[in-house]
Amino acid sequence: MLDKEGIAKRIAREVSDNSYVNLGIGIPTLVANYIPPDHHVVFQTENGLLGTGPFPWEGEEDPDLINAGKQTITFLPGASSFDSAMSFGMIHSGKVHMTILGAMEVSEHGDLANWKIPGKMVKGMGGAMDLVAASNKTLVAMQHVNKSGESKLLPECTLPITGRRCVQKIFTELAVLEIAPEGGFILLERAPSVSVDQIKNATKGRLIIKGEIPEMIF
């Protein structure tokens, strides 16, 4: 079973060389730490910067320079700043190749729910509905089950959705899964020392198992 760092590390392998990527809050943010040093990957933050760098040195925080999670950041040589329309423009036109974000639920058709729980305080969708609607690749990083032990991989989302048929792949503490074109979660990889049965038990939506399922490689 993977911890958050492990999930991030596995997702990092999905990030192509020479690509532009938007990372959501939580596990996705950690992905940046695991990009191979010889890979050229530029991170976009949707509040208006391409080329985000590491956190600033203590005492060097700039209040005019934050990421979409409102954290103080730095920028790398070759960075560019822009307004929110251009930022979401490059997202919607698919120039941002990949978005990695968290989820409350994913359906076997690739529907995503991650912004609203009826009856609870709603914080808002922020940029998530834009990011998943764009014609780029959407990867989800999340726990396989919720705090009550219920599967988050479902036949249909029960929560209000963020986007329809937008998720390509899901990365959890147990497995890597891909959405099948005809619906269903294709099991691609098991986390180290996790059995197929464990994954079956934690997956409520249709799980598609073809042949031997390899263990993840990092």
Partner 1 sequence: MIDKRVSGPTEALRDLGDGASILLGGFGLCGIPENCIDALVQKGVKNLTCISNNAGVDGFGIGKLLATRQVKKMISSYVGENEEFERQLLSGELEVELIPQGTLAFRCLAAGYGMPALYTAAGVGTEVAIGKETRNFDGRDYLLERAFDADYAIVKAWKGDHDGNLIFRRTSRNFNPLMAMAGKITIAEVEELVAPGMLDPDHIHTPGIFVHRIFQGKGYEKRIEKKTTRKR
Residues 168-197 that bind partner 1 (CB under 8 A): none
Confirm whether 46 is a catalytic residue.
yes
Q: Which two tokens stand for residue 106?
A: 């994913």
Q: Which of 160, 151, 170 is nearest to 110 (CA)?
A: 170
Q: Which of 31, 35, 77, 17 is nearest to 52 (CA)?
A: 77
- Identify which of residues 34 and 82 has a Cβ nearer to partner 1 in the complex: 82
CB of 166 to partner 1, least distance (A): 9
- Identify which of residues 64 and 212 has a Cβ nearer to partner 1 in the complex: 64
Cβ burial of 197 (10 Å; 0-12, 13-18, 19+) is exposed
The residue annotated as part of the active site, out of 5, 46, 61, 189, is: 46
Count CB-CB contacts under 10 A for residue 51: 17
With CB under 8 A as the contact rule, the residue among 15, 30, 32, 90 that binds partner 1 is 90
Nearest 5°: CA angle at 191, between 38 and 113? 90
81 binds partner 1 per the rule CB under 8 A: yes
200 binds partner 1 per the rule CB under 8 A: no
102 binds partner 1 per the rule CB under 8 A: no
Per-residue 3-state assignment (H helix, E strand, C coil) for 124-173: CCCCHHHHHHCCCEEEEECCCECCCCCECEECCCCCCCCECCCCCEEECC
Q: Which of residues 141-160 bind partner 1 (CB under 8 A)?
A: 160
With CB under 8 A as the contact rule, the residue among 35, 65, 188, 208 that binds partner 1 is 65
CB of 210 to partner 1, least distance (A): 29
CB of 56 to partner 1, least distance (A): 6
- Identify which of residues 145 and 159 has a Cβ nearer to partner 1 in the complex: 159
Q: Which of residues 13-52 bind partner 1 (CB under 8 A)?
A: 18, 20, 40, 42, 44-51
The residues near 120 (Cβ < 8 Å, ≥ 6 apart) are none
Find where tokens 């988050």 sit.
152
4 binds partner 1 per the rule CB under 8 A: no
Task: Give Cα 193 distance to the centre of its chain.
Answer: 23
With CB under 8 A as the contact rule, the residue among 123, 147, 182, 210 that binds partner 1 is 123
99 binds partner 1 per the rule CB under 8 A: no
- Identify which of residues 64 and 197 has a Cβ nearer to partner 1 in the complex: 64
Kindly list the catalytic residues: 46
